[in-house]
Structure 1
Amino acid sequence: MTAFGKLIRTTAFRLTLVYLFLFALFAASLLGYFAWNTRRLITEQITSTVNAEVGEVTEIYNRRGLRGLALTIGNRALRPGANLYLVTAPNGQAIAGNVGSLAPGVMGMEGWTETAYRRLDDNDNTDHRALVRVTEMTNGFRLLIGRDLEERRRLFGIVAKAAQWSILVVVVLGIGGGIFVARRVLQRIDAMTGTAQRIMAGDLSDRLPVGRSGDELDRLAENLNAMLERIEALMTGLKEVSDNIAHDLKTPLTRLRNRAEEALARARSEADYRAALERTIEESDGLIRTFNALLMIARAESGQARGNMDDFDAADVAAGIHELYEPLAEDDGMSLHVKTAPSAMHGNRELISQALANLVENAIKYGKPVVQPIDPEAAAAAKEILIEARREADSVLLSVTDHGPGIPEADRKHAVERFVRLEASRTLPGSGLGLSLVAAVATLHGG
């Protein structure tokens, strides 16, 4: 398709043509109304002037008779730019006036008539148009007084020509403006299309151009760029997950295979085989937990878990986690406490419970103070873990607090990435997915 063909097929150009048609129609209607009113005004002025003059001439005829009428008509007919005058006898013979010829039958009709005529002094033999009034006098005499319509025709022609030029100018400027607007819009759309094609080709880092006007195209580009950033983050996360799965699950799978080979090579009794199978099952359970965690993170990040959201009390969830993990905390030398207030919320209860459980497990693992206080009361307080659930304005706060060393600020961003384990946690069991799940659940619920 040619560039001009693309241009005229744009929505902006078509809308411009529609608005141009409507505006031209409105302008033509307005000018037509003005011309009609101008014509009506001139006609009213002619009829008013003629009616007044008919009244004067009739009064003169009544006072001075036919001789006075003929003398008055003769004098008025000689004035420059005079009206049309004609007095006829009962037999139709002209007695006085400046009208040389009329359309047939005009003098036989009383009242107003628009007719063709010629003056007595016309040398061009061209018919003119006039608006005349015929009045029957006493004794069968008839009086015609009228006004030439050339002024009205000329003024109407001026208005008509002005209307033609105005509509022509409107059409030319409208089409030119439409092409200009359509070209600008087309350039921006083409730029977006080119960016979209590069993105489809695999360059997820490219973004749609955003102008400074803040119009609807800029808002669309901003929203699409936000969507592309989200897609890029998801694709990057997917690539990282794939790499991490291949790297971090290779070790337990290799260990699982080696133990099976070792059992086949060295086991001599049923007890040896049982021990090897128990270690294999334990290793398999760890792998299953890892995959389950990955699936939960994927559900949370993709938004699939929104279908299972319901209203519940976050305080009940916190109390349940406290009851479940209190014995485990005591076995590890920690004390687990809970502090709740009614906290109604809408969300996925299963994922909220799992996220809170992950935080409690991390607190039990890493929440011991680096330096134990000497004072017994301070030492006991340093081993406390507090689960809180309360409402803050329109939000619900779920927190797990401990007295451990915490995560260095520089590492906090990486701590929520999949399979990331900080140096302090390398000596303890784990897959590096706990905080990733917590972050995904928080994002899902607008946290």
Structure 2
Amino acid sequence: MFSAAGACFLRAWIARRIGTIRDAARDIECGNLGRRLPVSGDSGQFTRLNQDLNRMLDKVEQGMDGARHVSNTIAHSLRTPLGRIRAHLDETLHARSDVAALTAAGELAVQEIDSLVALLDKLLQMAETESGARRQTFEPVAMRDMVASVVERYQHAAHEMAVALVMEIEGNPSIRGDRQLLESVLTDLLDNALKYAGHPTAIGVYAAQRNDEVILLVHDDGLGIPAQERTNVLQRFYRLNHKQQGNGIGLSTVAAIVSLHGGTLHLEDAAPGLLVRMVFPGCTGVD
């Protein structure tokens, strides 16, 4: 009799726990992404299951919030330049402009559209990065070869601006990751240093393996970023100087890619200039 009563009690207890999970699932299905499963103080299987499900729901809610933010900012970012293109073309057409004026208007429209395409490419890259999908294709990346390739592409532009672009690699550092994304990190940082650092005279890139970590540094001797703004500039669409061209997503994309690779990113004072310090988990197996 006692065993039968115990079995009934256990069955009812399990049914209640499962019912709680089903109720939460229905609530979430109806759009309440903030709903979470109750977690008791014990360490039983149901408690661990609820904790796992809550962590999963946190990720889902974070992803949905990110998607809404991206869609809103895309709409805002597209509206202004598209309105500017239309207004300029409309003004040119109604003024019965000559061929030279029409050509200039067309060239301006092409430049604006190219900027929009670049913005959309960046946003798509950020969305793909934050989804974590690219992590499945990670493989060992030799930092020496990757850094040298990117720095070489920027040598001409740096020379034209009378900027010394130097590179120093210690040993053969390597990390497990996506080479294309890692190249875009270095590309964005060198772009920023050349365009927004306030006419620096030198830009340096340094990489080295330190025990189980790989350090990647990019520094310049330009204007730097005020300490109180270093967290803000990592936010999507935040612009330090609205008088300069740009869309404010370069550093936020860099931060997302570094995070995807399990790394950390810090903006520091190079005295003078800016030092971007990135630390990644190292790996072996790359010559």
Q: TM-score, normalised by structure 1?
A: 0.54
Q: Look up the match of 2:259.
A: 443
- Aligned residues of 1:339 and 1:387 also touching (Cα < 8 A): yes
Distance change >3 Å, CA 176–CA 425, structure 1 → 2? same
- Determine the C-alpha separation between the residues in 2 that align with 1:411 and 1:337: 24
What SS does the aligned partner of 1:425 have? coil
Distance change >3 Å, CA 282–CA 193, structure 1 → 2? same
Q: Look up the match of 1:359.
A: 189
- Determine the C-alpha separation between the residues in 1 that align with 2:96 and 2:154: 38
Tell me, yes or no, if structure 1 residue 215 matches structure 2 residue 44: yes
Q: How does 1:53-202 map to 2 (within 5 A)?
A: 172-202=1-31
Q: Look up the match of 1:235.
A: 64
Opposite residue 286 of structure 1, the aligned amino acid is S
Displacement of 1:190? 2.0
Q: Look up the match of 2:266.
A: none
- Determine the C-alpha separation between the residues in 2 that align with 1:446 and 1:350: 16
Opposite residue 431 of structure 1, the aligned amino acid is N
Tell me, yes or no, if structure 1 residue 427 matches structure 2 residue 281: no
Opposite residue 441 of structure 1, the aligned amino acid is I
Q: TM-score, normalised by structure 2?
A: 0.82
Q: Look up the match of 1:286.
A: 115
Displacement of 1:236? 0.7
Tell me, yes or no, if structure 1 residue 343 matches structure 2 residue 173: yes
Opposite residue 176 of structure 1, the aligned amino acid is A
Unaligned regions of 5+ residues in structure 1, if any? 1-171, 370-381
Displacement of 1:388? 1.7
Tell me, yes or no, if structure 1 residue 408 matches structure 2 residue 245: no
Displacement of 1:320? 1.9
- Aligned residues of 2:63 and 2:131 also touching (Cα < 8 A): no
Q: Look up the match of 2:271.
A: none
- Aligned residues of 1:416 and 1:435 also touching (Cα < 8 A): yes
Q: How does 1:264-413 map to 2 (within 5 A)?
A: 264-332=93-161, 334-341=163-170, 342-368=172-198, 383-403=201-221, 404-409=223-228, 412=231
Aligned length: 261
Opposite residue 425 of structure 1, the aligned amino acid is N
Tell me, yes or no, if structure 1 residue 257 matches structure 2 residue 86: yes
- Matched-pair identity in %: 33
> Deviations 1:327-362 (Å, cap 9, x if unpaired)?
334444543221113122222111110111112222
Opposite residue 236 of structure 2, the aligned amino acid is R
Displacement of 1:269? 2.5
- Aligned residues of 2:88 and 2:105 also touching (Cα < 8 A): yes
What SS does the aligned partner of 1:249 have? helix
Opposite residue 393 of structure 1, the aligned amino acid is N
Unaligned regions of 5+ residues in structure 2, if any? 264-287
RMSD: 2.2
